[in-house]
Structure 1
Amino acid sequence: MLSPSSIFVAALSVASVFAVPTNSTEGAAFGLVERSGTPPSQGTSNGFFYSWWTDGAAQATYTNGGGGQYSLTWSGNNGNLVGGKGWNPGSASRVIHYSGTYQPSGNSYLSVYGWTRNPLIEYYVVESYGSFNPSSAASKKGSVTCDGASYDILQTTRVNQPSIDGTQTFQQFWSVRNPKKNPGGSISGTVTTSCHFNAWRSVGMNLGTEFNYQIVATEGFQSSGSSSITVS
């Protein structure tokens, strides 16, 4: 029987990779796109890439605002979902800023999230989380100080699981802020991707040579909450 943390990691892995392009939508007159219980979608909104996926079990509304802003509300303590804004392709040298509010109740992450190919890698820089520490389900490889904060470096293996390239076996790379930024209200920060990626490389965790998307994502699994984040 899987531990709750293993279930959470697995579920979010499935959630993220189901966000395959089904339509691209620019905001209408007010730059807003609302989805509630609709199929997964990816596209562009006000100059930023966005990705949104939900399995439909939760009451969830994702909204693209102006520029790099998005908001997400979910309730019902059921299902899993992930949404956010950023860039496609990602970059090994991007300095990412985020600000807004993050108020989870239960299992949730706020993270820089993305994929690479050659090899296929799913990666997270976790800034905050709800009731679950994702490092409890991964093997610790070391630690690093980036942007004035300490992060645990971790790695997991996903065997025959959904990915951006279909069912595959691949690695997950993690930096988990320790201690986390407290959820429940205003939140902001900076993630210098090169700091994390170089630290991963130093312990033998090598990202792929081809970047896919890279977003600041809000994720939830059998939980409730709200998030309003602006990415730059």
Structure 2
Amino acid sequence: MHPDQTPDRNVPHLSGAGPSRRSVLTRAAGVALTAGAGSLLLPGTAHAQTITTPQSGTHDGHFYQFWTDGTGTVAMTLGAGGRYAVNWTGCGNFVAGKGWATGGRRTVRWSGAFIPSGNGYLSVYGWARNPLVEYYIVDGYGSYRPTHPDHRGTVSSDGQVYDVYRTVRYPSGGTQILQQYWSVNRGSRTQGGTVTTGNHFDAWSRAGMTLAGFEFMIVATEGYLSSGRSDILVG
């Protein structure tokens, strides 16, 4: 989302807590998706399940996370294995995806289609608790490519060049800050790619941006004040 438009999303309840969004330090983490133009079908997925309310869990052997601020229409369809689809129309903010209950150093492969109309991201996205960090490895984006004043260099990985940024959010009424770490692709991959997360973690560490205490990590579709659709397979 645009840094000047970032809504005051709550920090997730970590380690399996529920999807409450009461404050910046008590939000349930999730990838925001908006339901949108056209409908995605998941052929051959006997275990398909469509959800429209914030939740997380395990589906067909893969962790999933879904969060929406409730604005507009957003629906996430959980398909077989690592597959999921999102349709969103006139969303406020949402995040949705499949991946792993515990993040870390992985070679993440994703394929499919990411088709935003307006502002959206396709990212490897996760949380860590020591310190409290929300992180994005943005592989594809819509009408807005995120940039931030605190630019901390670049990282080359998997045939792509990413800009590294750090942002900080200060919760109202609290003392614990939320840092956000970013790697943002100078290109935009919308049909698939490979992300070696350890290369980004190492680059962040060299820039003074450390991670520890990993929570979930997903290949996430996110939308902000936009519409669109995605159909993603996490490998």
Please give the TM-score of this superposition, normalised by the length of structure 2. Answer: 0.82
Give the number of aligned pairs: 208
> Does 1:84 pair with 2:97?
yes
Corresponding residue SS for 1:56: coil
Of 61, 76, 81 in structure 2, the residue corresponding to residue 67 of structure 1 is 81
Q: CA deviation at 1:31?
A: 1.1
* Counterpart Cα distance in 2 of 1:15 and 1:120: 13
The structure that is helix-richer by fraction is 1
For residues 100 and 149 of structure 2, what CA distance do their matches in structure 1 show?
27
Quick check: 1:72–1:226 contact (8 Å CA) kept in 2?
yes
Change (3 A) 1:48 1:155: same
1:227 to 218, 227, 230: 230
State whether residues 15 and 82 of structure 1, in contact with CA within 8 Å, keep that contact through their aligned partners in structure 2. no
1:175 maps to which residue? Answer: 183
Q: Would you say the 8 A contact 1:112–1:216 is kept in 2?
A: yes
Q: Which runs of 5+ in 2 are unaligned?
A: 20-44
Hey, which of these two has a bigger chunk of strand by percent?
1
- Structure-1-length-normalised TM-score: 0.83
State the 1:167 CA deviation: 8.0
Across the aligned residues of Structure 1 and Structure 2, the Cα RMSD in angstroms comes to 2.2
Q: Note the 1:1-232 alignment, pairs <5 A.
A: 5-8=2-5, 10-11=6-7, 14=9, 17=12, 21=18, 30-36=46-52, 38=53, 40-76=54-90, 78-91=91-104, 93-135=105-147, 137-160=148-171, 168-181=176-189, 183=190, 187-208=191-212, 210-232=213-235
Give yes or no for contact 1:161–1:168 (8 Å, CA) kept in 2. Answer: no
Q: Quote how far apart the aligned CAs of 1:59 are.
A: 1.1
Percent identity between the two aligned chains: 45
Task: Assess if the C-alpha contact under 8 Å between 1:86 and 1:214 holds in 2.
Answer: yes
Unaligned runs of 5+ in 1: 23-28
In structure 2, the residue matched to 1:25 is: none
Structure 1 residue runs of 4+, over 6 Å off?
none
The amino acid that maps onto 2:69 is D
Structure 2 residue matching 1:89: 3-state secondary structure: coil
Distance, in Å, in 2 between the alignment partners of 1:104 and 1:72 is: 10
> The residue matched to 1:43 in structure 2 has which SS?
strand
